[in-house]
């Protein structure tokens, strides 16, 4: 595996940090999930599904870092680690004596990644921040949904997950850089920065035009018809940007009046006259089922997709063949489905070597590898320094 031999100490909770650790574990790193004796505070969330989905390929160590013996265990882990991953509000972990400067003294080659809501600097750095905070403060929420309707959050914790991907990308890059320079480094990654970056073309467009993004529901200002429509049975997304696709669409659905209408002759014209165009297209699409339209649109090369619920997406033959959703057996939950790693690598394929650990499942194993004697481990368990 690409990261085999790399040891990661993962103190993160919620989603962004744990996903970063999981991605490193997927690539072969030995990731040790460090939790308090009571466990990651997200473990009860969503029937336990939250923690299950972002903590595979990790070992679990439960330790009380407020006790001197607990700190000693952490310091011993850090001595052998390549990566230290934490997601505390800035200032919190420093009070535990585990800030970057503290950790770097123990292990100068450490790659230290701090995930937070607002970053390690700036007026808001000491604020707590969840995914939805970043959506609200980046302009993303104000650009999402239908004009005039209440603001909505994106249905998935997209900013959390993208932050996790960026963190893993930064850590992997820092590992590569260390091979060249023999130096570790500090990585500051936060939800708001990532959310701002995801507004990409909207930010550039604002700088050119001075205009904020409109709220266009499932549509976009780059073309029309380019949005979700209703059909006889289910909704369908249709994305027509080229005049060639528009012509084929009208010819196959016998929409000759629309094809000949000068208001809709080009993509630019169709975008400018969207209020007139969309009701006419929608009226025609009510006559067809989603499957009928999919067959026509796919044959024309027009981007399109049925709008599916999670239960329907899991039954998609394409999703099943791609093996992007896998099933594992958990004693507590029975058979559980969750997303596989989406990377498909020819020489180093990603494998699920370990399921999400129970709280402290590998505490004894981790301490034994650090050189602790069995009697000492038993004492630590009795004193409730670790959970074993």
Q: The tokens of 261 are what?
A: 């209408």
144 shares its domain with 256? no
- pLDDT tens per residue, range 246-271: 999 999 999 999 999 999 999 999 99
188 shares its domain with 103? yes
Classified as helix, coil or strand, 64 is coil
Any idea what the CATH number is for the domain that residue 120 is in? 3.40.50.10540
Any idea what the CATH number is for the domain that residue 268 is in? 3.30.1540.10
Q: Is residue 1 part of a domain?
A: no
Where a domain ends, among 306, 331, 362? 306
Phi-psi region of 86 (alpha: psi -120 to 50; beta: other; left: phi over 0): beta
Which residues have a Cβ under 8 Å from the Cβ of 263 and sit 6 or more positions away? 269, 270, 273, 276, 277
Q: Is residue 29 part of a domain?
A: yes
Catalytic residue among 10, 64, 131, 160: 160
pLDDT over 70 for what percent of the chain?
A: 100
Query: What is the pLDDT, as a whole number, of residue 22?
Result: 98
Q: Provide the domain count of the chain.
A: 2
298 shares its domain with 326? no
25 shares its domain with 132? yes
Neighbours of 302 (CB within 10 A): 22
159 shares its domain with 269? no
159 shares its domain with 48? yes
Q: Is residue 226 part of a domain?
A: no
Q: For residue 331, is pLDDT > 90?
A: no
Which residues have a Cβ under 8 Å from the Cβ of 83 and sit 6 or more positions away? 6, 7, 8, 9, 24, 29, 110, 111, 112, 113, 171, 175
Residue with tokens 């420093």: 94
Q: Is residue 220 part of a domain?
A: no
251 shares its domain with 368? no
Confidence label for 332 from pLDDT (cuts 50, 70 and 90): confident
Query: What is the pLDDT, as a whole number, of residue 388?
Result: 87
Neighbours of 23 (CB within 10 A): 24
Query: What is the pLDDT, as a whole number, of residue 366?
Result: 98
Where a domain ends, among 306, 333, 354? 306
Q: Is residue 217 part of a domain?
A: no
For residue 34, give its domain range. Answer: 7-198+321-387
Q: Is residue 332 part of a domain?
A: yes
Q: Is residue 170 part of a domain?
A: yes
Q: Is residue 224 part of a domain?
A: no
Confidence label for 145 from pLDDT (cuts 50, 70 and 90): very high
- pLDDT tens per residue, range 215-253: 999 999 999 999 999 999 999 999 999 999 999 999 999
288 shares its domain with 327? no
Q: Do 356 and 31 form a contact (C-beta atoms < 8 A)?
A: no
179 shares its domain with 63? yes
What is the distance of C-alpha 136 from the center of its chain?
17
136 shares its domain with 109? yes
Helical segments of the chain, H only:
16-26, 49-53, 68-80, 100-106, 131-137, 158-181, 191-198, 200-209, 243-252, 256-260, 267-272, 274-285, 290-300, 310-313, 317-322, 363-369, 374-382
165 shares its domain with 294? no
Q: Do 10 and 33 form a contact (C-beta atoms < 8 A)?
A: yes
Where a domain ends, among 306, 336, 362? 306
Distances (CA, A) of 91 to 74, 121, 206, 378: 18, 11, 35, 33
User: What is the residue-averaged pLDDT of the chain?
Assistant: 96
- pLDDT tens per residue, range 91-100: 999 999 999 9
337 shares its domain with 287? no
Q: Is there a catalytic annotation at residue 160? A: yes
- pLDDT tens per residue, range 293-328: 999 999 999 999 999 999 999 999 999 999 999 999
């Amino acid at each position: 595996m690409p990261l085999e031999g790399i040891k990661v100490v993962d103190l993160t909770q919620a989603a962004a940090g744990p996903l970063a650790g999981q991605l490193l574990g997927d690539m072969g790193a030995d990731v040790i999930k460090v939790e308090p004796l009571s466990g990651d505070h997200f473990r009860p969330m969503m029937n336990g599904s939250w923690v299950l989905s972002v903590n595979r390929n990790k070992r679990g160590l439960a330790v009380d870092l407020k006790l001197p013996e607990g700190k000693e265990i952490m310091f011993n882990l850090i001595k052998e680690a390549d990566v230290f991953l934490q997601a505390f509000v800035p200032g919190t972990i420093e009070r535990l004596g585990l800030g970057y400067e503290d950790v770097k003294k123990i292990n100068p080659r450490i790659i230290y990644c701090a995930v937070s809501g607002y970053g390690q600097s700036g007026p808001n750095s000491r604020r707590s921040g969840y995914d939805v905070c970043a959506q609200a403060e980046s302009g993303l929420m104000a650009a999402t949904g239908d004009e005039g309707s209440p603001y909505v959050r994106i249905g998935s914790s997209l900013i959390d997950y993208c932050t996790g991907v960026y963190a893993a990308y930064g850590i992997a890059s820092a590992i590569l850089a260390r091979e060249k320079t023999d130096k570790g480094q500090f990585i500051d990654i936060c939800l708001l920065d990532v959310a701002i970056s995801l507004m990409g073309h909207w930010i550039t467009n604002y700088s050119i035009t001075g205009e904020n993004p409109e709220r266009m529901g499932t549509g976009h200002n780059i073309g029309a018809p380019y949005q979700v429509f209703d059909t006889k049975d289910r909704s369908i997304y249709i994305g027509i940007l080229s005049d060639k696709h528009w012509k084929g669409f009208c010819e196959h659905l016998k929409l000759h009046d629309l094809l000949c209408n000068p208001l809709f002759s080009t993509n630019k014209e169709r975008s400018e006259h969207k209020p007139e165009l969309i009701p006419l297209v929608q009226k025609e699409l009510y006559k067809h089922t989603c499957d009928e339209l999919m067959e026509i649109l796919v044959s024309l090369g027009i981007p399109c997709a049925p709008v599916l619920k999670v239960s329907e997406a899991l039954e998609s033959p394409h999703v099943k063949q791609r093996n992007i959703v896998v099933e594992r057996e958990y004693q507590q939950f029975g058979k559980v489905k969750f997303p596989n790693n989406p990377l498909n690598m020819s020489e180093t394929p990603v494998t699920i070597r370990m399921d999400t650990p129970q709280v402290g499942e590998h505490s004894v194993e981790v301490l034994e590898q650090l050189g602790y004697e069995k009697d000492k481990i038993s004492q630590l368990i009795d004193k409730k320094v670790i959970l074993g």
